[in-house]
Amino acid sequence: MDDRISGDEVLAIDAGTQGLSVILYCPERKRIVAVGEANYEKDYIPGLPDGKLEQYPHYWSDALRAAMVDLRKNVAQTNQTVDRVSAIGVTGHMHCMVRVDDSGKKPFGCDMWNDPRGVTESEELTAMFGEHMPARWTGCHVLARMKAEPEEWQKAAGVSVTSGSLVHDLSGEWVLGPGDASGMFGNLDADGQIDRTKLRKIDAFMEGHFRPLEELVPRIVPAGEVAARLSEAGSQLLGGLPVGTPIAAPEGDQQTTLVATAAGELELAISAGTSFTGNLPCRTKMVAESETINVLQTPDQLTMLMVCARNGTIGFAQYVAALSELTGRSFQQVADQLTDLAQQVPTDCNGTMLWGFFQGENVVELPHAKATLRGAGIDLLSNPGVMARMLLESPCMTMRYGVENLRPKIGDVKQVILTGGALKSKDGFAPQMFADILGVPVLGRTGDEEGTAKGAALLAAFMAQKQAANTDQSLSQFCKEQTQGDAHTWEPETQRAKEYDARYQQFAEFVGEEQQRDSGSA
């Protein structure tokens, strides 16, 4: 196979919660040919009170510049250069509220998806719109900022999210894809734009004190259309890629993960990362009723049902990181050793159960909950494999809670398609556990560890193909053709699945008790 870089590749940019990566993807060879990475200057803006979590937009653009340097350094090791690409795709962590001022600058902090604000505003917007608005969604933070900091809000000339901010840096255009847009103010209108009726309700709620929101929100561009073109400033940011290079509509990380998996109906695409999120495409129009199941859109404007467990694999990652620092061993060495220990622990963890709601958990409608541990014996202290096992188990139990609530609406999920770091789990331990807990096969493919960025690359490649050939091929068809890599399926193991059924009942009963306690104290 020819590994030469031709210039027909696409560049994909993935701004995650904790860092940014870029990939060079070849649609013809159907694979990633180069990767570059960079960390943010800070995880969050330091020193914010009350648990507030914000980033500055320049964290992302600075990391993008550094990641492009890293990409070129990696490519140079093969005596090649990256001088041009056929298209650019951009994805980012969803819901993060970005504002631009009249000068085109972004001096404001950006409320992150896991920032604790927006709970009261979630209730207000849910009543206002007639559809459930999760507290992490952009609209809730828009309203919270209007109420709490009116003088600062007066300076806003535009509001968008992470992926849209990066495309603005690259092109000067204020645009967004349908999926990421649906995570701002909920279901879009009949024209595929952010619903102006909703925006006017917010304006009226704030008694018209601010510039109308419909003047601030981005223009929505569906998959396959050119959303913007690389500007001179954008070219400099990317190290000299040609001005005019087409840019696909920026999308949310969950939408691009779904694209990368090429999931069909009743196939649940799970991204195992900081959050533990399952997305399922659906042709039925739905309205969100509760926090358990979110309703968004796909890049090609289908319904996307989401179960987003706030407490994902970050608990396991932080446990590994702490032990790594103590022992002086690498993160991967510690993770592998913990996995070896966890595999020796029985399914019931010797009667110990963890409800890992470290940051509250919206899927089970307990936003203010903390983690709970029951039945712990001395082995919890003597064997770190026990905690490691439960830290992997807990987010999947939360996912099952969401899937059980989905079942009456859509039927049984056929299989899970897994992406993200869980695919690196030694001996496939984590994917096998997920199959046993969820009771359905779990499919993983090599190369899908970079699933979010790959999805952005596929959106860029799809746009380039549509513009060049003007074909009638759908996004779904294109993605299925691009899906390649050695696949492995983990089937549920009968006995362990039965044991996990019993553990899930224990998990769900405790959640019910906590929900009753919560409602009684409200």
Strands 353-355 and 372-374, by their bridges, are: antiparallel
Tell me: do 54 and 134 sit in the same domain: yes
Give me the mean pLDDT over the 297-308 stretch: 93
Give me the mean pLDDT over the 371-387 stretch: 97
CB atoms within 10 A of CB 328: 8
Q: Is the pLDDT of residue 75 over 60?
A: yes
Number of domains observed in the structure of the chain: 2
Tell me: do 368 and 502 sit in the same domain: yes
Tell me: do 247 and 318 sit in the same domain: no
pLDDT of residue 470: 66
Tell me: do 101 and 183 sit in the same domain: yes
- Give how far Cα 254 sits from Cα of 196, 257, 277, 314, Å: 24, 5, 8, 17
Q: Give the domain range for residue 22.
A: 10-254
Q: Is the pLDDT of residue 522 over 60?
A: no
| 388 domain-assigned | yes
Q: Is the pLDDT of residue 235 over 90?
A: yes
The alpha carbon dihedral of 131, 134, 140, 144 has a sign of: positive
In this prediction the pTM is 0.88
pLDDT of residue 410: 87
CATH value at residue 169? 3.30.420.40
Tell me: do 34 and 179 sit in the same domain: yes
In the chain, % of residues over pLDDT 90: 84
| 109 domain-assigned | yes
Tell me: do 145 and 27 sit in the same domain: yes
Cβ 14 vs Cβ 21: under 8 Å: yes
Confidence of residue 1 (pLDDT cuts 50, 70, 90): very low
Q: Is the pLDDT of residue 477 over 70?
A: yes
Q: 428-444: per-residue pLDDT in tens?
A: 999 999 999 999 999 99
Confidence of residue 167 (pLDDT cuts 50, 70, 90): very high
Q: How far, in Å, CA of 460 to CA of 274, rounded?
A: 25
Confidence of residue 492 (pLDDT cuts 50, 70, 90): very high
Tell me: do 191 and 60 sit in the same domain: yes
| 176 domain-assigned | yes
Which of 189-198, 306-315, 433-442 has the least mean pLDDT?
306-315
Mean pLDDT estimate for the chain:
94
Q: Is the pLDDT of residue 356 over 50?
A: yes
Angle between helix axes 253-261 and 451-469 (nearest 10 degrees) is 70
Tell me: do 342 and 213 sit in the same domain: no
pLDDT of residue 367: 84
Residue at which a domain ends, from 228, 254, 280: 254
Tell me: do 238 and 318 sit in the same domain: no
Give me the mean pLDDT over the 470-493 stretch: 88
Tell me: do 224 and 339 sit in the same domain: no
Tell me: do 250 and 318 sit in the same domain: no
Give me the mean pLDDT over the 222-244 stretch: 98
In the chain, % of residues over pLDDT 70: 98
Cβ 26 vs Cβ 44: under 8 Å: no
Strand partners, 247: 88, 228
Q: Is the pLDDT of residue 376 over 70?
A: yes
Q: Which of 104, 110, 297 is nearest to 193 (CA)?
A: 297
Give me the mean pLDDT over the 233-238 stretch: 98
| CA gyration radius, the chain | 22
Cβ 482 vs Cβ 461: under 8 Å: yes
Q: Is the pLDDT of residue 336 over 70?
A: yes
Q: Is the pLDDT of residue 310 over 90?
A: no
